[in-house]
Structures are given as C-alpha cells and as structure tokens.
C-alpha cells in the first residue's frame, strides 16, 4: 500500500511498517482434562506500541495519508478503550501529528499514563457523560468544530478490517504452511471486530474453510444482545454496541468466556509458560481450547494474544481470582510452546 515514497510522511510510514505485524505464531501445547491439545496464537505484544492495534492504526493512517484525508499537522482524534489510543499516540507522534484520545474513565491507569507519555491529550469520559458511546460523540463533535482534525473511526472504518485481511490473516496462513498445516478455526474477542472480520476475509480469499468465531464475555454479552448488559473485566473487548464493521451473519457461533476465567488463564499463561499476556489473550486462549476440544485431534485452532500483561498491573489481573464451577482454567495445564517465526518478511501488503 505504500508504493509512492516521494513524501516524507510516507517514508516515515514505510519505516514504521517494519516494526508492525509479522509477529511470531506460537504453537502452544497444553492438556485439557488430560487430553493433549495444541493451539496457535499470534504474539502481538511484539508490535511497535505493544499491541495488535498497531496493525489497524498503521493501515488507517497509511490510507488516509495516501488519499489526502490526513494532512501534515492535523490532529488525530480517536475514541478508544486503550490500546488503540496507545497505537495512535505512538504512530501519530512518530509521524509528527498531535493526538487526542477520548476514553471512558474506568480504563486501567497504565493505559492513560502510557498514552500521556507520548505527549497525547487524554479526555476522560465518565459513565454519566455517556462512557464509550459518549467518547465517540465527543470525537465527532471535535471534528465538526475544527477542519484540522482526522478521525480514524476504527469502529466503522473498513481499513481496520483490511489491516487484518492483508496482514494478520495471511501471516497465519503462511506460518502454518511452513509446518504443512492449515487452520480449521480462528477465534478472537471482539472490540471493534477488525481482527475477526479481517482474518475471516483473508482465510476465505485463500479458499480456507476454517470456522471463524467471535468471542465475548459471558457476563456481558454485547454480541448476543446487541447492547451493553452487565459489566466485565476483559478490557479491549465487548464495548457497548455491535460495531458497524461486524457482520455476525458471516461468522460462525459466538464463543463465551467468563471474565474471571480469562483472568485466571492469563495468570496461568504467565505462571506455567512465561507468556506475559493480557486478559483478552487469556480469553482468546480459552476460546481456542474450547474449539480444539470440540473439533478433535486434527484441529488447527488459531487465535491472537493481543497485548502483554503490563497494562493490567492495577487490575484484578494481579488479584487472587476465585474460580467458579464452570471455569475451564483449572482443567488446563500448559506444557510448552514452539515458535513459528514470521514466514513473510517482505509481504506484498507492506512493501
Ligand atoms: N484485546 C485487546 C487487549 C484490545 O485492545 C482489543 C482492541 N480493542 C481487542 C482485543 C479486540 O480487537 P478488535 O478491535 O480487532 O476486535
């Protein structure tokens, strides 16, 4: 997508693209109720600003720069629950843009501090002011009031889906091909839904018939109900509505994971395997294990570890989380993992 390098900001983008995506794929060997299972997860904390959201931010900024919607000096303004803010703050500053992030005020302290560390402005939005939906409205109002504002609009922007259709999905297919395998399923917690929709698009374009599963917290099922119901602690997923880029009719069954089980599994990934991943990664791993058990010994279930655990050190991630009778984590032992390195260092999508 970055063919023309005559403008300095496009040159900057080309450099940043070397630090985004092309992550390793982990083959994680575990036992669930005594049964041996291997599932595959992209190790996304290796990205520039530490999460999978760099893929989306880089792609949206790249398209906007190329198409002239983002001009030098424009302020990037986005509503986000965290990692997106960090990604736009880091990439935006690297490209010389001021960044303003509208964010619900209940997100972890670390996220706010990290965004501010890049010199970005954080505008906290309380539940009384509309929370997540209120954050999006505030961003749109700012764009209406000023003509030097660029809104990435990650929940509605098809470039979010395209980021994963051109990187995450093809990378998984290429990495599995190096061991002679192809995915039978993909599962990912839905925030904007960019990951799950984009990987679905890539798999289908490649003629891969894997089932594709959105995942959400069982104690706050936005996808199943269409709106916010209840509270949950899996930051980054299940916000307050079904995003415009998500088309549930094109996806397979929704996978449910209790937030406490996701916390326990994130802790267990660190304690048993040294994998310092965030809470949504714990949820995704549990979803992948559920699918691997259901699909049987020939399954090749894939998912993403969206970020690392350091953004959750002020949350229940560090608590002694009680286990509930239906939790899967106590039935799981993680034995080891192998690393499938990036198979595509000069992928055409980023050349
Ligand atoms: N996990 C974490 C930690 C995230 O920050 C996000 C992004 N909101 C997701 C999962 C969900 O990714 P997506 O927006 O692509 O659905």
Q: Which domains does the chain have, with CATH numbers?
A: 20-52+164-340 (3.40.50.1100), 53-150 (3.40.50.1100)
60-69, 149-158, 337-346: the lowest-pLDDT one: 337-346
Instruction: State residue 5's pLDDT score.
Output: 55
* Residue nearest to ligand 1 atom 7, measured at CA: 236
- Decide whether any atom of ligand 1 lies within 6 Å of the 306 Cβ: yes
More confident residue, 85 or 8: 85
User: Which position among 17, 24, 49, 53 bears the catalytic label?
Assistant: 53
Question: Does the pLDDT at position 110 exceed 90?
Answer: no
Instruction: State residue 345's pLDDT score.
Output: 52
Instruction: State residue 337's pLDDT score.
Output: 98
- Is 53 considered catalytic here? yes
- Decide whether any atom of ligand 1 lies within 6 Å of the 85 Cβ: no
Span from the CA of 263 to the centroid of ligand 1 (angstroms): 16
- Decide whether any atom of ligand 1 lies within 6 Å of the 237 Cβ: yes
Instruction: State residue 156's pLDDT score.
Output: 92
- Decide whether any atom of ligand 1 lies within 6 Å of the 198 Cβ: no
pLDDT per residue as tens digits for the range 252-291: 999 999 999 999 999 999 999 999 999 999 999 999 999 9
Instruction: State residue 199's pLDDT score.
Output: 98
| Average pLDDT of the residues in 177-204 | 98
| Average pLDDT of the residues in 174-198 | 97
Instruction: State residue 84's pLDDT score.
Output: 94
**This prediction's pTM:** 0.94
Residue 347's pLDDT band (cuts 50, 70, 90): low
Span from the CA of 106 to the centroid of ligand 1 (angstroms): 17
- Is 153 considered catalytic here? no
pLDDT per residue as tens digits for the range 290-320: 999 999 999 999 999 999 999 999 999 999 9
**Are the CB atoms for 329 and 265 separated by under 8 Å?**
yes
Give the whole-angstrom CA distance, residue 62 versus residue 43. Answer: 23
Residue 165's pLDDT band (cuts 50, 70, 90): very high
Question: Does the pLDDT at position 2 exceed 50?
Answer: no
Residue 344's pLDDT band (cuts 50, 70, 90): low
pLDDT per residue as tens digits for the range 202-247: 999 999 999 999 999 999 999 999 887 788 999 999 877 899 999 9
């Amino acid at each position: 997508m970055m063919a023309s390098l005559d403008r300095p900001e496009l040159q900057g983008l080309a450099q940043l693209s070397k630090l985004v995506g092309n992550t390793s794929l982990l083959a994680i060997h575990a036992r669930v109720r005594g049964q041996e299972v291997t599932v595959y997860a992209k190790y996304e904390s290796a990205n520039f600003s530490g999460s999978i959201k760099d893929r989306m931010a880089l792609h949206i900024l790249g398209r906007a720069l190329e198409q002239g919607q983002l001009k030098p000096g424009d302020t990037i303004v986005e509503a986000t629950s965290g990692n997106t803010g960090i990604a736009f703050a880091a990439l935006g500053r690297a490209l010389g843009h001021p960044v303003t992030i509208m964010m619900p005020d209940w997100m972890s302290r670390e996220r706010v501090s990290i965004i501010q560390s890049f010199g970005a402005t954080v505008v906290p939005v309380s539940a009384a002011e509309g929370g997540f939906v209120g954050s999006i409205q505030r961003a749109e109002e700012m764009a209406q009031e000023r003509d030097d504002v660029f809104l990435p609009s990650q929940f509605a922007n098809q470039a979010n889906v395209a980021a994963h259709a051109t990187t995450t999905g093809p990378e998984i297919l290429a990495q599995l091909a190096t061991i002679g395998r192809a995915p039978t399923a993909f599962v990912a917690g839905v925030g904007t839904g960019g990951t799950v929709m984009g990987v679905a698009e890539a798999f289908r374009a490649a003629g891969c018939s894997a089932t594709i599963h959105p995942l959400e917290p069982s104690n706050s099922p936005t996808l199943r109900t269409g709106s916010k119901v209840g509270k949950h602690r899996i930051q980054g997923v299940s916000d307050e509505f079904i995003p415009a880029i998500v088309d549930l009719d094109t996806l397979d069954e929704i996978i449910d994971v209790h937030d406490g089980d996701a916390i326990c599994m994130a802790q267990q990934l660190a304690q048993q395997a040294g994998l310092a991943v965030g809470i949504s990664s714990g949820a995704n791993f549990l979803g992948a294990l559920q699918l691997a058990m259901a699909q049987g010994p020939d399954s090749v279930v894939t998912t993403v570890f969206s970020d690392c655990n350091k953004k959750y050190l002020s949350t229940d991630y560090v608590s002694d989380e009680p286990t509930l009778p239906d939790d899967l984590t106590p039935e799981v032992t993680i034995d080891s993992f192998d690393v499938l390195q990036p198979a595509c260092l000069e992928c055409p999508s980023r050349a």
